[in-house]
Amino acid sequence: MDLVTDKNDNITTDANLFRLALSNAIRNAVDAVLDVPTDNSQVYVSADVTPSTFWVKVSNQFVGSEFSLDEVSGTGVTAKIGHQGQGFGIMRIVATRLGYDLLMQAEAGLAVFTLRGQRRIG
């Protein structure tokens, strides 16, 4: 989705690692909404920048009440049949390597993944 805006929204980063983190977040969100017993469950992606920082959020409904990033970020930890359980672990490694903050809030059936960091411009 392209948004019409006058502000410079460039982020200087390793594009492959950034893509790896976001693709895992979106894949996890899509997998989670497939289990939600309502027809209008959606994945929402939002982002913004300030002159020095950026953030990207991926949010979705999920079945259950709550979980923490520590509960699902270990290698091999998954609730999905046929998955190796490496998505959150990979996202954590990527965030550390890029110097970004990785946050996951999941409560009341709503999960919000946030990746934020410095834009490294100038």
> Is the pTM value of this prediction over 0.95?
no
15-118 belongs to CATH 3.30.565.10: yes
pLDDT: which is higher, 7 or 105: 105
pLDDT of residue 75: 47
Q: How far apart are CA 93 and CA 95, in angstroms?
A: 6
State the number of CA atoms in the 13 A half-sphere of 5 facing the CB.
Answer: 10
pLDDT in tens, 66-101: 665 555 555 444 454 444 446 888 899 999 999 999
User: Considering the chain, what is the average pLDDT of its residues?
Assistant: 82
pLDDT of residue 9: 82
Q: Once rounded to an integer, what is the mean pLDDT over residues 47-64?
A: 92
